[in-house]
A and B are shown apart, each in its own frame.
Chain A
Amino acid sequence: MISGQARPRLGRHVRMRPDRPTGGWVLLGPETVVVLNRTGHAVLRLCDGERTVDEIVAALVEGHDGADELTVGEQVRGYLERLADRNLVDMG
């Protein structure tokens, strides 16, 4: 399981770019295209190699009344773990 103190960033060969046809965002790698939903983009734009996972979760919960930090934390860690398995995110 991913530590709350890890400082995730995008994988070395990964770019996050706007997706012109949909107005959303995509992750791009050499043989990879991942079309992000809004939540995915909200998480990944905070993955700058500076913020810890705990700080990212806190930032996501802030300003969202009723967002439960435990549940959000679990979802974010699961999401980052799946992306890290595909080398799309580097957990530092």
Chain B
Amino acid sequence: MVHYVSPPLDLSFAALADATRRGIIDQLGRSDASITSLADKFEMTLTGMKKHVQVLERAGLVVTQKVGRVRTCRLGKGGLAAEAEWIEAHRKLFEARFDALDDIISKMKQEVSNESAG
């Protein structure tokens, strides 16, 4: 069972401040990959790649899973994606509320002007 905890936004930004790590995210957006294949692709040592992946993992941007001797990386559901989704859901909820409030307010305005006219 994978437990997703959205880490602070600062961690996401720090993780994405590095060009190699942005490249890794881009790569994982196309397909899951092992640390070894990522190291090959970005022409760096296994240890170097592991460090980058750890930073991305802490930020919730990447999830890794070890099967046998291979550690596979994929994009995480935490971090920026979860947050963007949540903000959009909140925006929609409050937009629906405030649209309804707008309608009530225009009726109230109408009543107020009727009262002052009468």
State yes or no: do A and B come from one complex: no
Interface residues of A (CB under 8 A from B): none
